[in-house]
Homo-oligomer: A and B are copies of this chain.
Amino acid sequence: MKRIAFALLALAGPLAAQAPDMASTIEYRQGIYKAIRWNWGPLAQMVQGKAPFVRADFVKRATRISFLSHQLLEGYPPGAHEGAVTDALPAIWENFDDFSAKLDSFKLEARNLRLVAESGDEPAIKQQFIKTAGTCKACHDKYKAD
């Protein structure tokens, strides 16, 4: 039991008794973006005809992206552009309603991508993929460095 209690504490780590620090918050949201990108890559390959279209794989990865999109907003509490290397621009917190609305657009279009993917209609999937990519770009153009 002592071992298990230790494991519990070890796993909880620095989060056990306090709110996450900003560095952890930044790492968290960067982790979510990496996971989104990882799943986005194969979709881009399929849409561009660089890989064969495999509906089950497309649905799986679109579902992941949609699920992950809902985990981004909590990675942007006030002040979360300090304490670690980040591409997030201070403009996010100066225009938080707009930023949040852009994230909502991404969530909506990623959900639609999942739904369209399930239909298996390749031209519609391609169209929705481009629309979803547009919501990524809209946010990156204004709120991401580089």
Q: In the complex, are the beta carbons of B71 and A15 less than 8 A apart?
A: no
* Top 9 A-B residue pairs of the complex, sorted by shortest distance between their CB atoms: A15-B41, A12-B44, A31-B31, A31-B34, A7-B137, A28-B38, A31-B35, A8-B133, A7-B133
| Listed stretches A45-53, A96-104, A107-115, A116-124; interface member | A45-53
Residue tally, chain A, CB below 8 Å to B: 41
A40 on interface, CB distance cutoff 8 Å? yes
Cβ proximity bits A59-98 to B, threshold 8 Å, 1 near / 0 not: 0000010011001000000000000000000000000000
Is A145 among interface residues, defined by CB-CB distance under 8 A? no
- Decide yes or no whether A24 CB sits under 8 A from chain B: yes
**Extra A-B contacts (8), CB below 8 Å, given A7-B136, A28-B35:** A4-B134, A7-B133, A8-B47, A8-B48, A11-B136, A11-B137, A15-B40, A24-B38
Q: From residue 1 to 36 of chain A, which have CB atoms closer than 8 A to chain B?
A: 4, 7-13, 15-17, 20, 24, 27-28, 30-35
- Is the C-beta of A37 less than 8 angstroms from some C-beta in chain B? yes
Contact B28 A133 (CB under 8 A): no
Q: Which residues of A contact B (CB under 8 A)?
A: 4, 7-13, 15-17, 20, 24, 27-28, 30-35, 37-38, 40-42, 44-45, 47-48, 50, 64, 67-68, 71, 129-130, 133-134, 136-137
